[in-house]
């Protein structure tokens, strides 16, 4: 069964350490995603395409730097893409694996997955909500820019944490 993303109830957020002491949070504002689930609403396949240029941390100067060749290089690599390759369910410890393409490099990744049961909304549409979360090392995708600090440490942490909260609607409900 095919499902379409509900962009009004979906978010892609991330966080990274700044100066080793503070956490900077951001999000991507533009993305497309498609999901396939079985008849019980259990996710089977997920694919997301994220517009790199839509990064938003709430600070224009920082966002411009993140779009630059120092980081995402959004002009050269306008999209980030995730394509699932498998989902293992084990109660609350489910994981989703897939291939993440970022900065022109594709690598396998594994993220924690939490999925709610399918339900009918007040308008008769069937919906599912899922949360994927994890962390990755930005250097694994060639995002190596940094600046050493006078008293030790670096400007930007290597570990990027993220959460992808997705709500999908059964495709036939959208078409109706």
**Token pair 């670096």: residue:** 154
Tell whether the model's pLDDT for residue 17 goes beyond 60: yes
Top-confidence residue, 92 or 114:
114
Tell whether the model's pLDDT for residue 69 goes beyond 90: yes
What is the rounded distance in angstroms from the CA atom of residue 144 to the CA atom of residue 2? 38
CATH number of the domain encompassing residue 147: 2.40.128.110
**Token pair 């080793």: residue:** 20
What's the pLDDT band for 172 if we cut at 50, 70, 90?
Answer: low
Indicate the average pLDDT of the chain.
Answer: 87
pLDDT attached to residue 30: 94
What is the rounded distance in angstroms from the CA atom of residue 74 to the CA atom of residue 76? 5
Residues spanned by the domain of 82? 2-175
Residues above pLDDT 70, as percent of the chain? 94
Q: What's the structural domain count of the chain?
A: 1
| Alpha helices, H only, 59-164 | 60-67
Residue 135, CB half-sphere, CA atoms under 13 Å: how many? 9
Tell whether the model's pLDDT for residue 55 goes beyond 50: yes
Top-confidence residue, 137 or 93:
137
What token pair was written down for 115?
């999925």
pTM of the model: 0.84
Tell whether the model's pLDDT for residue 78 goes beyond 90: yes
pLDDT attached to residue 92: 64
């Amino acid at each position: 069964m095919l499902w379409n993303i509900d962009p009004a109830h979906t978010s892609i957020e991330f966080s990274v350490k700044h100066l080793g002491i503070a956490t900077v949070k951001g999000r991507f504002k533009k993305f497309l995603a498609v999901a396939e689930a079985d008849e019980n609403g259990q996710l089977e396949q997920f694919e997301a395409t994220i517009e790199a240029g839509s990064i938003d941390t709430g600070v224009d100067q920082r966002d411009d730097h993140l779009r630059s060749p120092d980081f995402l290089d959004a002009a050269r690599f306008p999209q980030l893409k995730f394509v699932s390759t498998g989902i293992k369910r084990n109660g609350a410890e489910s994981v989703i694996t897939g291939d993440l393409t970022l900065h022109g490099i594709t690598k396998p990744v594994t993220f924690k997955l939490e999925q709610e049961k399918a339900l009918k909304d007040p308008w008769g549409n069937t919906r599912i909500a899922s949360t994927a979360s994890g962390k990755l090392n930005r250097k694994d995708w060639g995002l190596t820019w940094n600046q050493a600090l006078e008293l030790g440490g670096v400007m930007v942490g290597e570990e990027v944490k993220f959460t992808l909260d997705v709500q999908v609607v059964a495709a036939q409900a959208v078409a109706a």
